[in-house]
Structure 1
């Protein structure tokens, strides 16, 4: 779908293909650029960028270690005014604060404004931003719980072609598990660690490993990391469980191929995109979240009771016994095909651009 009349302004927190949290959005920008006349980006922070010639990136300067909010706001308004003739529609990624700052100007200029928002929290900023936007697009009802007729649910977007790496063939007695995401108490990683402990106690002839990839963000997250390390030591699991730290998004497909099971225990109630990426890589997924009912119905995801590490350990044992963790199991190709048909990134970008184009 090409729309050469669309001159788009995108506003986002960070543009950096190497960022462990927002690196995926760089791929979004590449895809969007293929379908618009020009793409102008304002970001709070700029890192490594490899984008087409019709893309311009302007940073508010956080990468220079500047932390003055008033300076950011001044630069934001200055750029909005300087660039006003270079765009005819606005797409704000995840930060309703930018909608609040620019909303009146864009309304006077009659530019359609679309906000992408995927988070369980209904904040005052989101509530106020809704008054200025043309649309809010989100992945699912669980991902945006604000009550508004402006909300359109469009699903997630996975670049499934990146997740076609052949899975590593592991020894029959080896269970190599991985979990990826922000390190925070809401992710309930302690339950995953305890499951390894209970499995190890009951299965002396099988090797089990769990690698946890992700980075803390808040001071509470850092305390949680310390608590995880303490738990691993108390349970004598230093050989089985490792907290690996953040991971560059472009490295995720290759890393997933080294494992035979993906674990997920998040209590946020929202769909985590990395779970869909694991399925795209052909990995069986075990989750305690009710946000994956479609995937459960499609028999590509398995569920255990929230917070129940013993049940998780028993489920891991069953999946291993049934041969579901083997790379040649038919569920691997089934999971990839399901994600490609349901969450392909090209389809998502098309949906979003059509929504914006109809309002120009």
Structure 2
């Protein structure tokens, strides 16, 4: 089987897209040939049965034209079972007129709360839409197939955590208003014996502005000695970060399930999260309502009353069963056959 995957970047060190490489490697292990069309890629990141074609251009129109040319060349070279567009609806839209008339499936993998006309167009022209579950795709469609998140559990060892003080929480991800970091900081202010570590990039003007607002909030709430806001962590540093804290806390808005929640759970780290879509992963006593400062503070206090190592082991088992990268790749390949 030959499979074509379109993604933005192939770089295992990327703090944003590094996890994509594990998905590509898992797919490559299940097909004879994997062709990756990307805007950029580092050498040596993928196994020998992978070929990478770059379509980088300084202009958007040029990038689209180069992508279409690269895809057309691959379709002429040998018929793939499917073309999978990874998190970029535009590539499903551009691929469909080339692939669908030849009877080649076009899959869109998308897990985010933001809906758009472009996403609606990509949904219409795709054969299947793949997401974590029905609640992680913002449009209603009969084409949706839930396949889990695709976490590389091999990179995330299960860590046994010894009791320590103060209890240290981690919030990991971009400094976007959608991440609910204001709620998290205000909840930590209500629980005196807790420390919060915030790690993540600020890639847009909105995120940079919000980071400054968060730093101001830390001062205003009087928690400068307990809340530490830092920059991004390289992909290879994430497992060590999970190992050095007592729990992950996540208040991402409804509509997408944050990858870091599954990663932390895979490392046997207890997770507190608000998104209702985590109801199949997290027990009720580790969930709270989005934006609920008092509810989150109460959930944080309960962390001291539970066997955190036992909870972590159960969470890892659930990730292995439904959200591992092997399960994800098996489901993609089964759909392409």
The TM-score, its normalising length taken from structure 1, stands at 0.87
Aligned to 1:259: 245
Q: Which of 185, 195, 209 matches 2:177?
A: 185
User: Relative to structure 2, which stretch is displaced further, 27-36 or 96-105?
Assistant: 96-105
Aligned to 2:208: 222
Q: Which of 148, 159, 165 matches 1:155?
A: 148
Give the C-alpha shift of residue 185 in structure 1: 0.6
Are residue 315 (structure 1) and residue 299 (structure 2) matched?
yes
Question: Which structure's CA Rg is the greater one?
Answer: 1
Aligned to 1:175: 167
- The CA deviation string for residues 268-319 of structure 1, in whole angstroms up to 9 with x for no partner, is 33222211111111111112222211124xx386122332323322322232
User: Relative to structure 2, which stretch is displaced further, 22-31 or 137-146?
Assistant: 137-146
Distance 1:356 1:285 in 2: 34
- Conserved 8 A contact 1:285-1:301: no
Distance 1:349 1:199 in 2: 41
- Conserved 8 A contact 1:99-1:132: yes
Distance 2:287 2:92 in 1: 38
- Conserved 8 A contact 1:9-1:87: no
Distance 1:78 1:165 in 2: 45
Aligned to 1:324: 307
- Conserved 8 A contact 2:285-2:299: no
- 4+ residue runs over 4 A deviation: none
**Structure 1: unaligned runs, 5 residues or longer:** 1-5, 201-205
Q: Which of 241, 247, 257 matches 2:233?
A: 247
Distance 2:293 2:89 in 1: 37
Could you say if the C-alpha distance between residues 302 and 273 of structure 1 is closer, same or farther in structure 2, counting changes exceeding 3 Å? Answer: same
**Structure 2: unaligned runs, 5 residues or longer:** none
Are residue 350 (structure 1) and residue 333 (structure 2) matched?
no
Give the C-alpha shift of residue 48 in structure 1: 5.8
Aligned to 1:137: 130
Q: Which of 109, 113, 121 matches 2:106?
A: 113
- Conserved 8 A contact 2:134-2:144: no
Aligned to 1:3: none
The TM-score, its normalising length taken from structure 2, stands at 0.93
- Conserved 8 A contact 2:156-2:263: yes
SS at structure 2 position matched to 1:305: coil
